[in-house]
Amino acid sequence: MIPGRRTGKGRVHLTAGSAHDCRPLPKRTAQEGDVCRSLRLPHRRSPVPDLTPPDVLDFQNVSKTYPGQPRPALNDLTLRVPRGSRTGVIGRSGAGKSTLVRLISGLETPDAGRLLVRGDALGPATRAAHQARTGLVFQQFNLLAQRTVLRNVTLPLELRGVPRARRDALAREHLDLVGLGEYAGRYPAQLSGGQKQRVGIARALVTAPDLLLADEATSALDPETSAGILNLLLDLQRERDLTLVIVTHQLEVVRAVTTHVAVLDAGQLVETGETAAVLRAPRHAATRALLDAHRPQVPLAPDETLRRVTLPDLNPDTLAALARAGARIVQAEPHPQGLDVWIAAPAASPEWAVLA
Ligand SMILES: Nc1ncnc2c1ncn2[C@@H]1O[C@H](COP(=O)(O)OP(=O)(O)OP(=O)(O)O)[C@@H](O)[C@H]1O
Ligand SMILES: [Mg+2]
């Protein structure tokens, strides 16, 4: 997803410093020569380490067909996810989004191509170590009904053999982090949907992962609860310098949370880039269809256009600006930065600039 970092077939990680440094790539010494050849530089060793982190995820022509299925769930997917990014994966139902998450989490393996995770090819030798650094949050929370909230959060630590006192302390710390310190002794059935998802997030983070995968984490929640969960994910992502991959069919989630977006359609990656750029000027018909599907279906006057803006709140100044623009609010939903508002207004209104 970062342009200009590949040269031919070789992979180039350029670092700051002298243009004549051709530093060894960590664990990639075989490609060293490629870098030097592509830059036409003499090769010499430097004591300065390469500080450029590898992409957390690097899908290289990955395909996956489930047994007995006529079509691949993912087809020749090439995608890179930079470290510290928040990447949204969107697409229609059946597009292959969850398959992508299952490949990253190691629950499924590609039939063709390679998936590099943190610079290493994901395979039997690396899977366990990678899974230990990857957290998963699911749509249906996947909490164990017969375990208390505390015991749900300690579960991944139990599986890793962490001593009881330590895992209880870590679980309590993470329940505090998600605002559920008082709920440790409850059972999942005694929680709301949003609280269940907070437990799911605490459980995903208790093992200190650096990669968090969320598959439709807010789809089962009402808009206000959803905004609360997204805020929490955003805060945690920043505090812990997580790389977040968030699968969603909710375009507002993509808008509110992500730095990058990947659009899947029938198993193909059809569009990718920085979120703002893709949403502003979608190139592929599938992306445009997803955007259109989220536009409120309201009748418009001949001179009116519909726009979506994020407002911190609906204070008197904003309402006055809307009135001057001849604008009307046709839909408003909670958003981590305030309100997601769809506005219909005359296209020629000079006041549009105030709102855009
Ligand atoms: N375990 C499985 N066995 C066979 N086919 C499967 C399996 N899981 C998914 N598929 C198929 O693979 C394709 C992609 O499915 P996937 O679950 O990745 O889609 P998705 O984009 O997550 O859809 P949704 O938005 O409905 O969750 C679909 O055609 C689906 O029917
Ligand atoms: Mg899915």
Q: Is 69 near ligand 1, meaning CB less than 6 Å away?
A: yes
Which CATH number covers residue 306? 3.30.70
Ligand 2 centroid to Cα of residue 304, in Å, is: 36
pLDDT at 197: 94
Residue 167 predicted with pLDDT over 90: yes
pLDDT at 33: 33
- What sign does the CA torsion over 123, 125, 127, 133 have? negative
> For residue 99, which atom of ligand 1 is closest to its CA?
18
Beta pairing, strands 10-11 & 6-7: antiparallel
Indicate which residue's Cα is closest to atom 27 of ligand 1.
93
Residue 350 predicted with pLDDT over 80: no
Q: How far apart are CA 138 and CA 243, in angstroms?
A: 17
- Average pLDDT (326-355) is 74
If you search the block for the tokens 């700051």, which residue do you land on? 16
Check if the beta carbon of residue 12 is closer than 8 Å to that of residue 5.
yes
Residue 11 predicted with pLDDT over 50: no
Ligand 2 centroid to Cα of residue 34, in Å, is: 39
> For residue 92, which atom of ligand 1 is closest to its CA?
25
Co-location of 320 and 268 in the same domain = no
Ligand 2 centroid to Cα of residue 183, in Å, is: 30
- Average pLDDT (73-100) is 95
Per residue in 273-311, pLDDT tens?
Answer: 999 999 888 899 999 888 877 778 788 888 887 777 778
Structure tokens at 352: 């549009």
Which CATH number covers residue 161? 3.40.50.300
Check if the beta carbon of residue 320 is closer than 8 Å to that of residue 355.
no
Per residue in 194-212, pLDDT tens?
Answer: 999 999 999 999 999 999 9
Residue 261 predicted with pLDDT over 70: yes
- If one compares 309 and 253, the residue with the highest pLDDT of the two is 253
Tell me, yes or no, whether 24 lies in a domain.
Answer: no
**C-alpha dihedral over 57, 63, 65, 66, to 10 degrees?**
-20
pLDDT at 42: 43
Tell me, yes or no, whether 1 lies in a domain.
Answer: no
> For residue 71, which atom of ligand 1 is closest to its CA?
29
Q: SS3 for the chain, per residue?
A: CCCCCEECCEECCCCCCCCCCCCCCCCCHHHHHHHHHHHCCCCCCCCCCCCCCCCCEEEEEEEECCCCCCCCCEEEEEEEECCCCEEEEEECCCCCHHHHHHHHCCCCCCCEEEEEECCEECCCCCHHHHHHCEEEEECCCCCCCCCCHHHHHHHHHHHCCCCHHHHHHHHHHHHHHCCCHHHCCCCHHHCCHHHHHHHHHHHHHCCCCCEEEEECCCCCCCHHHHHHHHHHHHHHHHHHCCEEEEECCCHHHHHHHCCEEEEEECCEEEEEEEHHHHHHCCCCHHHHHHHHHCCCCCCCCCCEEEEEEEECCCCHHHHHHHHHCCCEEEEEEEECCEEEEEEEEECCCCCHHHHC
Q: Supply the mean pLDDT for the chain.
A: 82
Beta pairing, strands 260-265 & 86-91: parallel
Could you give phi then psi for residue 64, rounded to 5 degrees? -145, 120
Tell me, yes or no, whether 19 lies in a domain.
Answer: no
Counting the structural domains of the chain, the total is 2
Co-location of 305 and 191 in the same domain = no
- Residue among 75, 97, 213, 245 whose CB has most ligand 1 atoms within 8 A, to mutate: 97
Which one of the ligands is nearest to 64 CA? 1
Tell me, yes or no, whether 200 lies in a domain.
Answer: yes
Residue 321 predicted with pLDDT over 90: no
On the CB side of 112, CA atoms within 13 Å amount to 10
Residue 108 predicted with pLDDT over 50: yes
- Average pLDDT (221-233) is 88
Co-location of 252 and 320 in the same domain = no
Q: Is 64 near ligand 1, meaning CB less than 6 Å away?
A: no
Residue 48 predicted with pLDDT over 70: no
CA 67 vs CA 72, 289, 297: distances in Å: 10, 30, 40
Tell me, yes or no, whether 26 lies in a domain.
Answer: no
pLDDT at 191: 96
Segment among 93-97, 153-157, 260-264, 345-349 with least mean pLDDT: 345-349
pLDDT at 309: 76
Indicate which residue's Cα is closest to atom 19 of ligand 1.
94
Among the candidates 240, 260, 284, a domain finishes at: 284
Co-location of 202 and 335 in the same domain = no
Co-location of 84 and 222 in the same domain = yes
Co-location of 299 and 271 in the same domain = no
Residue 216 predicted with pLDDT over 80: yes
Co-location of 264 and 310 in the same domain = no
Tell me, yes or no, whether 33 lies in a domain.
Answer: no
For residue 225, give the nearest of 198, 189, 206, 257 by alpha carbon: 198
- Average pLDDT (35-60) is 61
**326-329-331 Cα angle (round to 5):** 160
- Average pLDDT (326-342) is 79
Residue 46 predicted with pLDDT over 80: no
Q: How confident is the model at residue 259 (pLDDT cuts 50, 70, 90)?
A: very high
Q: How confident is the model at residue 353 (pLDDT cuts 50, 70, 90)?
A: low
- If one compares 51 and 21, the residue with the highest pLDDT of the two is 51
Co-location of 85 and 209 in the same domain = yes
**Residue-range definition of the domain harbouring residue 178:** 55-284
Segment among 35-44, 126-135, 273-282 with least mean pLDDT: 35-44
> For residue 91, which atom of ligand 1 is closest to its CA?
21
pLDDT at 355: 54
Q: Is 73 near ligand 1, meaning CB less than 6 Å away?
A: yes
